[in-house]
Amino acid sequence: MFTAVFKYDAKTGYNGKLTYVYLCQHTIQMDIFSVYKSTFETRLSGRYISLKQLQPILIDFQNTGILEKLGTSEKGNPVYVIRMGSGPKKVLAWSQMHGNESTTTKALIDFIQFLRQKRFWQAEIKSFLQEYTFVAIPMLNPDGAELYTRENLNGVDLNRDAKQLTQKESKLLRSLFQQEKPDLCLNLHDQRTIYSLGGSNYPATLSFLSPAANVDRDITTARARAMLDIARLNNYLQVLAPNRIGRYDDSYNENCVGDSFQSEGTPTILFEGGHSPGDYQREKTRELLFHAFTALFDFIPSTKEPPSLIDYFAIPENEKNCRDVILRNAYIAGQKQDIAIQYKEILSGEAIDFVPYVDDIGDLSPLKGHKEIDVKGEDILINSHENVFVDEKIATISIKSTKKSIII
Ligand SMILES: [Zn+2]
C-alpha cells in the first residue's frame, strides 16, 4: 500500500527522495524507483541505439530462450521479437519503427530486464507472467536506426505503410499482428522537443494517444479501452511528473499502423517519449516510460477511482509551443526580434550531435524556450553577420558591441 506520496522536483525530476514503501506479505520490498536504479540496462544510453548497441543484450535474451528472429529488414538486418509470459492477455509492442526514436527501446529493454531479474518483486513478476503474454519487437526498423533516420532504408515512413505494406518491416509487423491476435497493442515512439501541453509552456515529456479508428473519430469499444488505460496511466504519472503528460493529435490516417489496428478492433496505445528540461539524451524520459509500463500492467496498485473517458479528454492535447532555445530582446540590424533556435540531431560516429539552427525570428512571445536567454536590447551577430536567416546553421552568436560570445 502507499503510505505517502512522492513529489516531482524541478531539478532532480522524479529521482527525488522517495517517501513511500510498498508492503507485501509483511516484508518491505524495495520500492520500484530503487529497483529501476538496480535493474535498468546500463549497456544502453543516449540517443543513438542501433542493432550494434543492442547486440550483447539480444545475445543474453537468445541464451535464455526469449528471443526469436522474426525476419529481415530491407537491408537484410535481423528483426527480432522478444516473448515473455504465458498468460491469456496478449500484448504486442513494437519500438523504433522510426529509426531515430530510441527512447522507448531503452525503456522497453529496461522493462524486460526488470522481468528477467531474480532479486526484486518476484511475486508480482510471476503474476504478470501468468496473466500476460508479452510480445515485443525492440527495433522494427534496424536500417533506419543504423542511419539515425525516421524512415527505413528505402526512405519509407513505416508508419504510413500500414495499408500498402510495401516494405519488409511493415509486412513483418502485420504478419505478427495477425498471428498473435493481441488484446492490446503498444506503438512506441519519440516526439520532438517542440511539443507543449496545450497552450502552456510545459514540455510534453510523455504523450499518449488512443488513435482514431475511423475518420469520424468515433469512440469504438477498442478505442475506449485504450483511452481508459491511458487515463489510468496518466493518474499515476501525474504524481511522478506533474504537468508533463500530454495527449497526441487524433486525426485519423488509415496508413498509420496504430489507427489501422485500432480500426480492426484491437485497443492500441501510442506512446511518445518527449523532452524534459536538460534531458536531451532522454534518460529521465526513459525512466518515466519504464514506470509507465509498470503502471500499465498493474505492478503499482491504483490509489484513485477507476478512470473515465472524461479523465482521458482532460489530458491536455499536444501543441507546439516549445523551442530548444529562445533569445529574447535581441536587436538584429537595428530591429528588435526574438530568435528561436532548434537543434538538429546529426549522427556523428555512434553519437548524436545537437547542432543549432535558426528556427524562427520575430515576436515569439507565445513560445517558450527550454532555455531562454535575455540579450537585453543588445545588437547581436549570428555567424559574424547582421542578418539572420531561418534554417541557417549557427556556428557563433555574439554581442556586436563587445564581441562577447553568447553560449547556447
Ligand atoms: Zn515516431
CA–CA distances in Å: residue 166 to residues 77, 90, 162, 283: 17, 27, 9, 34
Whether residue 398 contacts residue 407, with contact meaning beta carbons closer than 8 Å, is answered with no
Output the CA 391–ligand 1 centroid distance in Å.
Answer: 23
Output the CA 194–ligand 1 centroid distance in Å.
Answer: 14
**Strands 206-209, 268-273: parallel, antiparallel or unpaired by DSSP?**
antiparallel
Is the pLDDT reported for residue 180 higher than 50? yes
Measured distance CA(279)–CA(10) in Å, rounded: 12
DSSP class of residue 350 equals: T
Q: Which residue's C-alpha cell is 516531482?
A: 8
CA–CA distances in Å: residue 15 to residues 6, 8, 102, 151, 240: 10, 8, 21, 34, 9
pLDDT computed for residue 24 by the predictor: 37
Instruction: Give the tens place of pLDDT for each residue, 246-296.
Output: 999 999 999 999 999 999 999 999 999 999 999 999 999 999 999 999 999
Output the CA 253–ligand 1 centroid distance in Å.
Answer: 14
Q: How confident is the model at residue 333 (pLDDT cuts 50, 70, 90)?
A: confident
Output the DSSP codes for 39-67.
Answer: HS-TT--SS---HHHHHHHHHHHHHTT-E
Q: How confident is the model at residue 304 (pLDDT cuts 50, 70, 90)?
A: confident
Domain limits, CATH 3.40.630.10, in the chain: 30-319
Measured distance CA(108)–CA(234) in Å, rounded: 18
pLDDT computed for residue 228 by the predictor: 97
**Strands 67-72, 22-24: parallel, antiparallel or unpaired by DSSP?**
unpaired
Closest C-alpha among 291, 144, 139, 142 to residue 205: 291
Task: Give the helix/strand (H/E) hosting 331.
Answer: strand 322-332
Output the CA 50–ligand 1 centroid distance in Å.
Answer: 16
Percent of the chain with pLDDT over 70: 93
Measured distance CA(283)–CA(64) in Å, rounded: 27
pLDDT computed for residue 387 by the predictor: 87
Measured distance CA(153)–CA(71) in Å, rounded: 16
Is the pLDDT reported for residue 13 higher than 70? no
pLDDT computed for residue 306 by the predictor: 87
Measured distance CA(390)–CA(374) in Å, rounded: 20
Task: Give the CB-side neighbour count of residue 299, counting CA atoms within 13 A.
Answer: 26
Q: Which residue's C-alpha cell is 541464451?
A: 63
Instruction: Give the tens place of pLDDT for each residue, 191-209.
Output: 999 999 998 999 999 999 9
Task: Give the helix/strand (H/E) hosting 186.
Answer: strand 184-190
Instruction: Give the tens place of pLDDT for each residue, 111-169.
Output: 999 999 999 999 999 999 999 999 999 999 999 999 999 999 999 999 999 999 999 99
Which residue would you say has higher pLDDT here, 269 or 13? 269
Q: Which residues surround ligand 1, an ion (CB under 5 A)?
A: 98, 101, 189
Output the CA 231–ligand 1 centroid distance in Å.
Answer: 21
Q: Which residue's C-alpha cell is 537491408?
A: 75
CATH of domain 30-319: 3.40.630.10
- The mean predicted confidence, pLDDT, of the chain is 92
Output the CA 205–ligand 1 centroid distance in Å.
Answer: 14
pLDDT computed for residue 29 by the predictor: 64
pLDDT computed for residue 182 by the predictor: 98
* Residue 172 grid coordinates: 513483418
Output the CA 282–ligand 1 centroid distance in Å.
Answer: 15
Is the pLDDT reported for residue 2 higher than 80? no
pLDDT computed for residue 381 by the predictor: 95
Measured distance CA(169)–CA(177) in Å, rounded: 12
pLDDT computed for residue 305 by the predictor: 83
Measured distance CA(166)–CA(139) in Å, rounded: 18
Output the CA 366–ligand 1 centroid distance in Å.
Answer: 26
Percent of the chain with pLDDT over 90: 88
**pTM of model > 0.85:** yes
Overall average pLDDT of the 362-381 stretch? 96
Instruction: Give the tens place of pLDDT for each residue, 27-60.
Output: 346 899 999 999 999 999 999 999 999 999 999 9
Output the DSSP codes for 258-296.
Answer: HHHHHHTT--EEEEEE---TT-TT-HHHHHHHHHHHHHH
Measured distance CA(177)–CA(195) in Å, rounded: 30
* Residue 226 grid coordinates: 485504450
pLDDT computed for residue 376 by the predictor: 94
**Burial per residue of 57-86, b for 16 or more beta-carbon CB atoms within 10 angstroms, e otherwise:** bbebbeeeebbeebeebbeebebbbbebbe
